[in-house]
Structure 1
Amino acid sequence: MDREPGLGVGAVARHLGVAAATLRTWDRRYGIGPSGRSPGGHRRYTPADLARLEAMQRSIIAGAPPAEAARAALNEPHGAPPHPRGHGAGGNRVPLGDLPAGSDPAEVRGLARAAMALDAPAMGRAVRAAIADRGVVEAWDCLIVPVLKGIGRKYAASGECVEVEHLLSTVLVGCLVEVAPPARPSNPRPVLLACAPEEQHTLPVHALAAALAQADISSALLGARVPASALAAAIRRAGPNAVLVWSQTARTGDDPGWLDGLPGSRPAVRLLVGGPGWNRGRLPSSARLVTDLSEAVTEIGSAFTRP
């Protein structure tokens, strides 16, 4: 074993997408820890140890309590993993597909593994680090969206991972709302961000609010399922230069005619819509469709920077 020292706890934690503290807890509580030693006498995970941990992680994701998952993994010969479960979706892997330019494949895989392990602290650390290093727009485009799309592919192939998507979305919203609002916003009145009536997918508008904050633009996020009458009242109250309405599903964006009934303001409000749910052929001329986060920030910024 001295000839094959194996991996330290940090390397194994990154491989599995869990916190190092989680590995130490599993070792202490369930006896599923490193069995090797480095030349200097430090404990190291062998390939068999790693296989046991992977088997334990799969069982936990499938719903087994950690103690039961550990016992099953320890009883497997040499920690050999069972045949992958799933229906052509890569077992417990997230099918990421082609990554956009600027993505770090290791970073994307790390967040995907943390999501599949339901390791909220690890997810939070990965997302906060990306936002701090590259800003909200690039973190969204190059890290968050690829993982969300991958989970969507896995769900489409197997019907699994609803819980993964829900927990990841919760963690993402928590990270995005931590982005500090601008101390001196460039807009005199906050931009209004809302979901279409009956639309419940709020994550993209949280991302936009955070991206706007980093661009020194203040916003007011009205949240999910905003009735047309409530949005109209908010426009009259706030007098914003720009409003963005999000539709994720065709059910909420198929009949967008109500947008034409929204009031204007002084100066005139720029009405933007975003999301894949909108029926583009039926959008009123008063509404401009934005197709990504960067375009939304640019369009909103130009609404009150024009001479």
Structure 2
Amino acid sequence: MANDGLSAGAAARRLGVAVTTLRTWHQRYGLGPSRHEPGHHRRYTVEDMVRLQVMQRLTAQGVAPAEAAAWARRTPESIPDISRPEGVVYPSPSTHSAPDDSASHLASFAGAVAPADSAEPVLRAAAAAARESILSLVESGALIPDAAPGDGRAGGGQTIALGPRADPAARGLARAAMRLDTPSMRYILESAVTHRGVISAWNNVMMPVLIGIGERYEATERFVEVEHLLSRSVTEALSAVPRPPRDLTPRILLAAADEEQHTLPLEALAAALAENGVPSRLLGARVPSRALLDAVDRTGPAVVVLWSQLPGTGDVTQLERLLSRPHPPLVVAAAGPGWPIADLPPTATPLSGLAEAVQVASAANA
């Protein structure tokens, strides 16, 4: 970054947003570049970038743009321009827990000074501190807004209906998904998993948006690209959960029923088990019954969880074959809405949710 600041294009690339987004934030909310020299385009300074980071991360967390901009404009004026020869001051993470009069800033500023020729590390430090400050406030509940008018409404427009009581992070994820904003989706999902845990992140953030985009497709036959990118982002977030040590032998086998293509719930279960130190094997989508039986014979699992999303894949003979093995698994569980509960074999275990699946699988694995 040159000492005269960033151009609009360079600032947009740093943030991972479109230049038109920066122009909108400038025109509507006054979050534009502050450095200007006659005959030249305006440039974004370090302080401008911190404000834009605040705006970006709050909107990603579900805060309405106008409210996010108001918070961004409250960022202190104490970061000098990076071209000043005596150096610049960069922020450290805030410890405020509520946006009251004594804690109105999103970042507290320490007196650490860096030379003007090290603007690039300063920018990274400022951006990181802004993100940490926002996250601490969101997690404390200080920045969770009331439902915005119109949130969750069904009907037209490029929105995902979530309902007025939707989690703010789910609203932010839905907005990012409709924008095909992969960086924001990744940030929201990783934050939810890290700070809430897999089960809460799945139930309150991931699943409502996945259901919402599915309903949008059913109503419009559009937005397949949104569903694909969202699903991929969820997979990446769940895959990032640290797995148990390699010396622990997995005794839980997870698989989708024959011809069943939906696997995200199984990925969530694998991640939730891993979070609790329990290893598992995930075979993935469309596992033929013969292949599943072969896997069971070779690995001898204590638990088999078979997922069926759609009624067409919930053939109970798959469960009956597992249970009729000479040495059947201790638990054969039917998970998902595709299974006909009334027709399940008496010794099959129906699972109604992720938390129950984790509890049952972990107990049988012990």
- What is aligned with 1:80? none
For these two proteins, the number of residue pairs brought into alignment is 242
Which shifted more, 202-211 or 255-264? Answer: 255-264
| Matched residue SS, 1:217 | coil
Match of 1:237 among 288, 298, 302: 298
The equivalent residue for 2:155 is 89
1:21 maps to a residue whose letter is: G
Matched, 1:218 2:279: yes
Per-residue CA deviations over 1:79-126 (Å, capped at 9, x if unaligned) read: xxxxxxxx9624111110254xxx63x211110000001111211111
Give the conservation status (yes or no) of the 8 Å contact 1:243–1:270: yes
Corresponding residue of 1:156 = 218
Contact 1:180 1:213 in 2 (8 A): yes
Instruction: Indicate how the Cα distance of structure 1 residues 34 and 189 shifts in structure 2: closer, same or farther if over 3 A, else same.
Output: closer
Take 2:283 and 2:349, find their aligned partners in 1: how far apart are those partners?
A: 20
Counterpart residue number, 1:257: 317
Q: Secondary structure at the match of 1:34?
A: helix
Rounded to whole Å, the distance in 1 between the matches of 2:180 and 2:32 is 35
What's the RMSD between the two structures over aligned residues? 3.2
SS of structure 2 residue aligned to 1:167: helix
Following superposition, the deviation at residue 41 of structure 1 comes to 4.7
CA distance in 1, matches of 2:14, 2:210: 21
Q: Distance in 2 between matches of 1:244 and 1:203?
A: 13
Asked whether the 8 Å contact 1:198–1:224 carries over to 2, the reply is yes
- In structure 1, list runs of 5 or more residues that go unmatched: 1-8, 52-86
| Cα separation, partners in 2 of 1:285 and 1:20, compared to 1, 3 Å | same
With normalisation by structure 2, the TM-score equals 0.59
Unaligned runs of 5+ in 2: 1-7, 36-47, 53-64, 67-152
Residue 293 (structure 1) aligns with: 354
Contact (CA 8 Å) 2:25, 2:31: kept in 1 or not? Answer: no
1:180 aligned to which of 242, 246, 249: 242
Answering whether residue 326 of structure 2 is matched by residue 282 of structure 1, we say: no
Q: Which one of 262, 265, 268 corresponds to residue 207 of structure 1?
A: 268
Deviation at 1:32, TM superposition (A): 6.0
Q: Who is 2:26 aligned against?
A: 34
The DSSP-based 3-state class of the residue aligned with 2:253 is: strand
Report the Cα distance in structure 2 between the residues aligned to 1:93 and 1:32, rounded to whole angstroms: 19
CA distance in 2 between partners of 1:40 and 1:234 (Å): 60
Q: Quote the offset at 1:302 in angstroms.
A: 1.1
User: Identity of aligned pairs, percent?
Assistant: 41
Following superposition, the deviation at residue 38 of structure 1 comes to 7.4
1:141 aligns with 2:203: yes
Q: What is the CA distance between 1:19 and its match in structure 2? A: 8.7
Q: Which moved more, 1:256-265 or 1:167-176?
A: 256-265
1:33-82, Cα deviation, whole Å (9 max, x unpaired): 6247579957799xxxx89xxxxxxxxxxxxxxxxxxxxxxxxxxxxxxx
> Partner letter of residue 162 of structure 1?
V
CA spacing shift, 1:251–1:267, aligned 2, 3 Å: closer
How far apart are 1:161 and its partner, in Å? 1.9
Quote the residue 2:333 is aligned against: 272
Q: Which has the larger radius of gyration?
A: 2
